[in-house]
Amino acid sequence: MTVTTLDPKVALVVIDLQNGLRALPGTPHTVDDVIARTVRLADAFRAHELPVVLVRATASPDGSDAVPGRTETSRGGHTPSAGWDEVVPELAGRPGDITVTKRNWSAFYGTDLDLQLRRRGVTQIVLTGVATSIGVESTARAAHEHGYHVTLATDAMADLDGDAHRHSTEKIFPRLGESGSTADVLALLGKTHG
């Protein structure tokens, strides 16, 4: 589905565009391309005085705040470099932006994201970031469950696995909201908030 409209109270929610994930081999877009497109969106949202939410994932060095439960894949076991969980400089440090720190896949679970959005009267979110099938999809699902209109800028997101990205964009996202390109969102933003 193509993006059809943007609500008057729309926010950009950026998932995990942080220093430690910049070097990931993103597909079908590089992480640097995702950052560049997200910067264009963030600049436009800021110009229209609309909220920009920068979500960052972090964990305590000793792993004491890790999500419990057994999984079939490793959860790391390496020591991240200093500053790995800081938002990339191209997006960080703008007055008025909201920073949300998460310790789970979804930006809603265990954070104040819903509260921050509701206080501002937000009814719709536009999502970008990495990884499509993990943080972005989990946040999109939770946003849908919280009653937000969800828009997904699919050329401003990347995954480690092309099949996972395709599954999210082709099978899951159409059930959660509307998808489009960065250009589609920018064009609608100009029409509805210009």
- List the chain domain ranges: 10-57+85-193
Distances (CA, A) of 154 to 2, 110, 121, 194: 11, 26, 25, 23
- Hey, CA dihedral for 182, 30, 96, 137, is it positive or negative? positive
The secondary structure of residue 183, as a DSSP letter, is: H
Which segment of 42-46, 79-83, 151-155, 160-164 scores lowest on mean pLDDT?
Answer: 79-83
Which segment of 47-56, 68-77, 96-105 scores lowest on mean pLDDT?
Answer: 68-77
Compute the distance between CA of residue 148 and CA of residue 132 in angstroms, rounded to an integer.
Answer: 19
Report whether pLDDT(20) > 90: no
What is the value of pTM for the model shown? 0.93
**Average pLDDT score, the chain:** 91
Reported as a single tens digit per residue, the pLDDT across 107-163 is 999 999 999 999 999 999 999 999 999 999 999 999 999 999 999 999 999 999 999
Compute the distance between CA of residue 151 and CA of residue 177 in angstroms, rounded to an integer.
Answer: 6
Q: Is the peptide bond before 80 cis (omega within 30 degrees of 0)?
A: no
CA dihedral in degrees (124, 11, 106, 95; nearest 10)?
-160
CATH number of 10-57+85-193: 3.40.50.850
